[in-house]
Amino acid sequence: MKLAVLALCLVPSLVAAEENEVTFANVPTPDVESITIEQPQGKLVLQGWDKQEVRVVAHKHARDDKALDQLTVDFLMVDGKIRIRTGVRVDNTFHPLPAADGAGIDLTVSAPRNVNLRAQTWAGDLDVSGFRSGAELSSRGGEVHAWDIDGEVRTAALRGKQRLSAIHGNVEADGTTGDVELDAIDGEVLEARVVDGQIVARRIRSPLVRLFSSSGGVVLMGTTRPGARYEILTRQGDVRLVLQRAPFTVNARAPQGAVKNGFTLTHAVGSPTTLQGEFMGGGPQLELTAAHGNVILEPQP
């Protein structure tokens, strides 16, 4: 009887067994200008480094050897432009598509810091750091995480969180479903929009900040920058600002909710649903709207 139970346990464990393979490739790239990576197979980690070469590490996993052999990383370099794609090879035809049956490739790419970068994943997370010429990043179903990047960063995520930090350049983040976290951004323009999700922004130094959530709150924490303009809007959710005691001018509206203010303003006018005024003589302009929620202004403790 015990042996029969043991057998019952063994068979599922055999079913769950998986084949794995890790492959490496180092390609000297003295004159590389741009890298485009299309990764439908799994996670993608991108790291900028100081070497003039591209290193690709592919961690393949599949349920059997044959499927493992079919998982392919396609590397193409023409005139300083590199294109890396993952996919499945069937009968000598390369399909840049996700593998079925739980098979896939997790990819780690190290590349020269100064390349123009464009990367996309399907269901896998996308982690990018250490680049100096910006990045254009998107994911259909994974999270997008970018940090320590100089230059313009544009991101889009259909179903997944976005976390952008230590970005020295303009930022444009588009989200459909998923929260957006922004920290230590200091480009000229920061614009983040999400249809269904919350936006949280900290330590923002950009002079023009636009944050919009259709169905979710927006939180801005930190200090305002002299001469800056902040346009913050939610359709269904609260706008909440937790600010250090520094000058600002505010124009807030919450037609279906209330404006709650914790600062002592001068020239203050308004009603329970509107507020205009200046703090410490006025300064950076705060345009705050919560169409169906509240606007909350409070000093940072």
Partner 1 sequence: MKCDVERLSALVDGDLSARQATRLRAHVDGCAGCARALADLETMKRGLGALPARAGEDNWSIVVNRLAQPAPVEPRRLWPVLSLRWALPSVALMAMLAGGGAWLRWHKGRGLSADKVIAHAESEFHKADEHYRRAVDELRDLAEKERRGWPLPKRAEYEAAQAQLEAAVARCRQVAEQQPADVDAEELLFAAYRKEIRFYEDQMMREAQ
Q: Which residues bind partner 1 (CB under 8 A)?
A: 1-4, 6-8, 10-11, 14-15, 17, 38, 40, 62-67, 69-70, 88, 90-91, 93, 95-101, 103, 122-123, 140-141, 156, 158-159, 174, 176-177, 193, 195-196, 210, 212, 214-215, 231, 233, 235, 253, 287, 289, 291
Q: CA 172, CA 258: separation in Å to the nearest integer?
A: 29
Query: Which residues have CB under 8 Å from 24's CB, separation 6+?
Result: 55, 56, 57, 58
**Contact yes or no for 240/257 (Cβ under 8 A):** no
Q: C-beta of 6: minimal distance to partner 1 in Å?
A: 7
Q: C-beta of 24: minimal distance to partner 1 in Å?
A: 23
Nearer to partner 1, 261 or 289 (CB): 289
Q: C-beta of 201: minimal distance to partner 1 in Å?
A: 16
Nearer to partner 1, 94 or 147 (CB): 94
Q: C-beta of 68: minimal distance to partner 1 in Å?
A: 9
Q: C-beta of 43: minimal distance to partner 1 in Å?
A: 16
Q: C-beta of 208: minimal distance to partner 1 in Å?
A: 13
Closest CA relative to residue 169, chosen from 187, 190, 193, 149:
187
Nearer to partner 1, 2 or 301 (CB): 2
Closest CA relative to residue 149, chosen from 119, 121, 173, 171:
171
Q: CA 200, CA 265: separation in Å to the nearest integer?
A: 25
Nearer to partner 1, 1 or 24 (CB): 1
DSSP-assigned letters across all residues of 6-54: HHHHHHHHHHT--EEEEEEEEEE-TT--EEEEEE-SS-EEEEEESSSEE
Q: CA 262, CA 265: separation in Å to the nearest integer?
A: 9
Q: CA 60, CA 71: separation in Å to the nearest integer?
A: 7
| Ramachandran area for residue 205 (φ above 0: left; ψ -120 to 50: alpha; else beta) | alpha
Nearer to partner 1, 28 or 92 (CB): 92
Q: C-beta of 139: minimal distance to partner 1 in Å?
A: 11
Structure tokens at 33: 């200008």
Nearer to partner 1, 116 or 176 (CB): 176
Nearer to partner 1, 150 or 179 (CB): 179
